[in-house]
Amino acid sequence: MDLLNTLVDKGLRRELPTREEALAVLATSDDELLDVVAAAGKVRRHWFGRRVKLNYLVNLKSGLCPEDCSYCSQRLGSKAEILKYTWLKPDEAADAAGAGIAGGAKRVCLVASGRGPTDRDVERVSRTIEAIKGEHEGVEVCACLGLLSEGQAERLRAAGADAYNHNLNTSEATYGDICTTHDFSDRVDTVRQAQAAGLSACSGLIAGMGESDTDLVDVVFALREMDPDSVPVNFLIPFEGTPLAEKWSLTPQRCLRILAMARFVCPDVEVRLAGGREIHLRTLQPLALHLVNSIFLGDYLTSEGQAGQADLEMIADAGFEVEGSETTTLPEHRRGASVCGPHDGCGPHESACGPCGAEPEPEPVAAPAAARTDLVAVRRRGAGTDLPPNA
């Protein structure tokens, strides 16, 4: 396909595809799917070889969030029967992180529900970061605490945080459909604050919330504009007790197209396969490793994931290798990119934004996916419980 050859060439040069080209990836047929995966795989291997970075989530406090994000099991008014607990102590969080590190994770992601941290919360998390790094020298720590206030990113950086996560989730045009207690610009502002403080920015999306192909392209292009180092791609976990519990619109094939589109638009960043992969990709998970270079190990914040050992076996069986702590994830030209301008290290931008001269293909109307509610399992182990974690 001429389209795929063009996208590979642009990916190897770090050039931005046109929106029409990105939409065309999402509109490819199932007959073309393996060609799409192979093409995006060339870009992935060029920048990251066959390495897979492992990340591990620690939910520092669970539930009772005042925000109304429709997709979230911890949202205001959620009836999802998830674990609810207040802040873990630094030593408890360090123990939970240690399980993931022992399983091969080189980054620990510390997450807390809520609109954003108070200064006291930042102090709590700072002590937790110090406890983790005191026991595990060299491990990367990413904080995900919601909307940041002035000076908080700098304090987290001073405490030893390496990165900050705050996802855009969906396009600016449809953000108000999934959340009313804050807006798209609030999220962009927090990512910018993290970058300005010297933290590596991590920001991604959630697919499967009823968005159109145009929305998916818009949010990935917005991410490219912000230039984060890591782009996690989540697939909606339709928790019972949340407004999106009935949203089962994804198929394994569509998930792969979304990941391929993200790789073409963000060729040299850490594209991470995140929440919902087990539910929506199912037996096609190994194919996704040809598109992403990073996954979460084990369980998520409030749901159970694939067993950590199964993750490791999947990586090995697919012919990939776990990225070691001695290896730097990002290509050399991107190191330190968290404090760069929006296009530094990304190749030409303005020259690659013009129309491609072809009419975009119409967005396909997919048949509703079969609901697999049996695959949505609430987390009952690990942080906040007396049971050992899955790592």
266 is catalytic: no
* Rounded-to-integer distance, Cα 67 and Cα 39, Å: 40
* Rounded-to-integer distance, Cα 208 and Cα 210, Å: 6
Tokens of 384: 């906040």
Helix axes 213-226, 184-196, angle to 10 degrees: 30
Instruction: Output phi, psi for 80, to 5 deg.
Output: -65, 135
Q: For residue 15, what is the DSSP state?
A: P
Q: Which of 69, 255, 266, 346 is catalytic?
A: 69
Q: Which of 109, 144, 179, 346 is catalytic?
A: 109
Whether the CB-CB separation of 236 and 71 falls below 8 Å is answered with yes
Would you call 390 exposed, middle or buried from its count of C-beta atoms within 10 A (0-12, 13-18, 19+)? buried
Q: Which of 14, 19, 44, 65 is catalytic?
A: 65
* Rounded-to-integer distance, Cα 86 and Cα 269, Å: 34
Whether the CB-CB separation of 189 and 236 falls below 8 Å is answered with no
**Residue located via tokens 């301008």:** 341
Q: How many CB atoms lie within 10 A of CB 137?
A: 7
Helices H / strands E in the chain, number of each: 13, 10
Whether the CB-CB separation of 4 and 39 falls below 8 Å is answered with yes
What DSSP line would sit under 267-326, residue for residue? Answer: TTSEEEE-TTHHHHTGGGHHHHTTT-SEEE-S--SSB--S-HHHHHHHHHHTT-EEPPTT
Pairing of strands 107-112, 163-165: unpaired
255 is catalytic: no
Q: Which of 14, 72, 75, 257 is catalytic?
A: 72
Which amino acid is located at 386 in the chain? D
Instruction: Output phi, psi for 318, to 5 deg.
Output: -85, 0
Q: Which of 263, 272, 277, 379 is catalytic?
A: 272
Task: Say how far residue 133 (Cα) sits from the centre of its chain.
Answer: 23
Q: Quick check: helix, strand or coil at residue 386? A: coil
Residue 94, sorted as left (phi over 0), alpha (psi -120 to 50) or beta, turns out to be alpha
Q: Which of 44, 75, 142, 187 is catalytic?
A: 142
Q: Which of 14, 19, 107, 202 is catalytic?
A: 202
69 is catalytic: yes
Catalytic residues: 65, 69, 72, 109, 142, 202, 272
